C-alpha cells in the first residue's frame, strides 16, 4: 500500500510517517518504480504500535525503546515494565505540576475583581515573577 493508504490504515499522518522514517524510528520502506513508498501490513502494524505508544504520552525515545523491546522476542518483561513505570512517574510529576498551576491560577483569578478597573493581581503576579532577581550589593567598610 502507498503512504496515504498506510496512513489511513494506521491512523498516523503521512507527514508523521515520513518524519518517523527520517529520524530512524521506522526503517525506510521499499519504493515503487515511481519512487513511492510502499508499506506492508507488518509495517502498518508497527505504525499502529507507535501511534498507541504516543497516545499514552510516551516520548519518541521511550517509543523507540518500547518498539525495540516489542520486536525482540527474547526480551524480558522487566525491561518493558521499567520503561512504563518511569513514564508513570514522569506523568505523575507533570500532573502534580499542573495541579499546582491550576491552584495558583484559581487563587489569582479569585483575587481579580474582573471589573472595568485596570488593576489586576494576575498581571501583577506575572510581572513580579518576570522581574530579574535583585543581587545583594556589597557594602564597603
CB 5 within 8 A of CB 32: no
The region, left, alpha or beta by phi > 0 then psi within -120 to 50, assigned to residue 109 is alpha
What's the pLDDT tens digit per position in 112-130? 988 888 889 999 999 988 7
Task: Quickly list DSSP for 22-87.
Answer: HTTSSPPPEE-TT--EE--HHHHHHHHHHHHHHHTT--HHHHHHHHHHHH-TT--HHHHHHHHHHH
pLDDT for 139: 63
Cβ neighbours of residue 18 closer than 8 Å, sequence gap 6 or more: 3
Mean confidence (pLDDT) of the chain: 92
**CATH of range 1-75; options 1.10.1660.10, 3.20.20.70, 3.40.50.150, 3.40.50.800:** 1.10.1660.10
Distance (Å, whole) CA 13 – CA 119: 46
**pLDDT score of 141 more than 60:** no
Convert the pLDDT of each residue in 41-50 to its tens digit.
Answer: 999 999 999 9
Q: How many CB atoms lie within 10 A of CB 3?
A: 19
CA 6/CA 44 separation, integer angstroms: 6
Amino acid at each position: 500500500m502507498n503512504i496515504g493508504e498506510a496512513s489511513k490504515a494506521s491512523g498516523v499522518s503521512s507527514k508523521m510517517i515520513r518524519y518517523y522514517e527520517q529520524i530512524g524510528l521506522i526503517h525506510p520502506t521499499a519504493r515503487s518504480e515511481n519512487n513511492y513508498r510502499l508499506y506492508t501490513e507488518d509495517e502498518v502494524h508497527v505504525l499502529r504500535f507507535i501511534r498507541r505508544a504516543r497516545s499514552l504520552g510516551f516520548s519518541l525515545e521511550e517509543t523507540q525503546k518500547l518498539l525495540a523491546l516489542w520486536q525482540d522476542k527474547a526480551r524480558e518483561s522487566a525491561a518493558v515494565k521499567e520503561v512504563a513505570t518511569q513514564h508513570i512517574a514522569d506523568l505523575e510529576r507533570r500532573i502534580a505540576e499542573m495541579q499546582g498551576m491550576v491552584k495558583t491560577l484559581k487563587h489569582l483569578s479569585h483575587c481579580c475583581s474582573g471589573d472595568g478597573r485596570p488593576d489586576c493581581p494576575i498581571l501583577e503576579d506575572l510581572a513580579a515573577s518576570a522581574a530579574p532577581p535583585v543581587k545583594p550589593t556589597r557594602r564597603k567598610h
